[in-house]
Amino acid sequence: MGKALRPKGWVLLAYLLPGLIIYSFVVLVPIFAAFRDSFYSWTGGPKKTYISIENYKEILQDNVFWHSFLNNVLMTAYGLIGQVGFGFVFALLLMSKMVKLKGLHRTMSYFPSTLAPVIIAFLWMLIYNYNYGLLNAGLTKLGLDVLVQSWLDLTGPIVLLASIPLSWQNIGFFTLLMLAGLSSINKEVLEVAELDGATGIRKAWYIIIPLAKPTLVVASLLCIANNMRGFEHIYALTGGGPGNSSSVMALYAYETSFLRFRYGYGSALAIAIIALTMLLILLSTLALQRRDSKGGAY
């Protein structure tokens, strides 16, 4: 752009500053504040005791926190299958000429994404309900009465059961994301592949998946970030229960601070969550990129 169009420095700054200030105040300042508070024992009152890295030492031995972390990781794994995996399959099907009513599928499957996580959690609470739940009613109708049970009281598969509503809500978004990625693939490549006799599943496996890799990588990273920060669904669906079996990191930090009034420890947990999440995203970025260059399918 020509010099004539370039605004003066202070004009530029005046335009950019409001956004940067409000963003920094909410995103960056709390991180620094949490870092500072994480070295104190503090119940919220005027008395703050400096305890050096004791909070962090405690985190290392805090079973509930690490259990919550594992739940986050487990939820991420379920999310990668349920959201990215199924989203990709549905996008492939929606690309094929076999499927009718594409507009309807797209519109309806994205609709749950626009609803509040709290409402999604209530809906699934009703679905899982022992006496009045859709799931048990369906099982009874199918003659599978033996499977009827109080779903949200099962400690074993509780993380899976809590992940299903998340996948249910987000699968439409991931389908759209993949559709967008798939439709940007060079059509000539697909034509040549077809002339060479690659169709159906073979075409999907050997041609489309390698070409869609960038989209799959972006989707996976988004999915990891989403599941590591998960809070609202779990808070509203199980409250972390039964016991601590479905607790996630953010929920544990919330409870530690607001129910047990341990603000110093809660701040240390916040720092730990940010560090762990960033580490995981970094590692998965590296892993996905490495496979990218090794694969050589292009």
Partner 1 sequence: MELQLELQTQRSTRRFLPSPAKLAVNALMLLFTASCILPLLWIGYSSLKTQAEFANNILSLPSAPQFGNYLEAIKLTNMLQLSWNSARVTLLSVIGITAISYVTGYITARIDFKGKKVMIFYYLFGMLVPIHALLVPLYLLFKNFGLADQWYTLIIPYIAFNLSLPIMLISSYVTGIPKEIEEAAAIDGLSFSGTMYRIMLPIAIPVLTTVAILQFFSCWNEFSFALVLLNDESLRTVPLGMSYFKSQHSTNYPQLMAGMILSMLPVTIIYFVFSSRIIAGVMAGAVKG
Query: Per CB under 8 A, which of residues 95..124 are in contact with partner 1?
Result: 95-112, 114-119, 122-123
Contact between 30 and partner 1 per CB under 8 A = yes
Contact between 82 and partner 1 per CB under 8 A = no
Residues 160-189 that bind partner 1 (CB under 8 A): 168, 171-173, 176-177, 179-184, 187
Q: List the one residue from 1, 60, 146, 259 that touches partner 1 (CB under 8 A).
A: 1
Q: List the one residue from 213, 232, 241, 244 that touches partner 1 (CB under 8 A).
A: 232
Contact between 259 and partner 1 per CB under 8 A = no
155 DSSP assignment = S
Q: Please count the other Cβ atoms lying within 10 Å of the Cβ belonging to residue 80.
A: 17
Q: List the one residue from 258, 279, 287, 290 that touches partner 1 (CB under 8 A).
A: 258
CA distance 183 to 236: 37
Contact between 26 and partner 1 per CB under 8 A = yes
Nearer to partner 1, 77 or 281 (CB): 281
Question: Nearest to residue 236, comparing CAs of 160, 145, 152, 125?
Answer: 125
Residues 186-225 that bind partner 1 (CB under 8 A): 187, 190-191, 194-195, 199-200, 215, 218, 225
Q: Please count the other Cβ atoms lying within 10 Å of the Cβ belonging to residue 287.
A: 12
147 DSSP assignment = G
Query: Minimum distance between the CB of residue 280 and partner 1, rounded to whole angstroms?
Result: 10
Query: Minimum distance between the CB of residue 274 and partner 1, rounded to whole angstroms?
Result: 5
Name, in order, each residue with C-beta under 8 angstroms of 203's C-beta and a sequence gap of 6 or more. Answer: 190, 193, 194
Is the N-terminal amide bond of 242 cis, ω within 30° of 0? yes
Query: Minimum distance between the CB of residue 4 and partner 1, rounded to whole angstroms?
Result: 5
Contact of 82 with 164, CB cutoff 8 Å:
yes
Retrieve residue 119's tokens: 């409402």
Nearer to partner 1, 51 or 276 (CB): 276
Query: Minimum distance between the CB of residue 116 and partner 1, rounded to whole angstroms?
Result: 4
Residues 128-157 that bind partner 1 (CB under 8 A): 131-134, 137
Retrieve residue 290's tokens: 């490495």
Which strand (E) or helix (H) includes residue 218?
helix 213-228
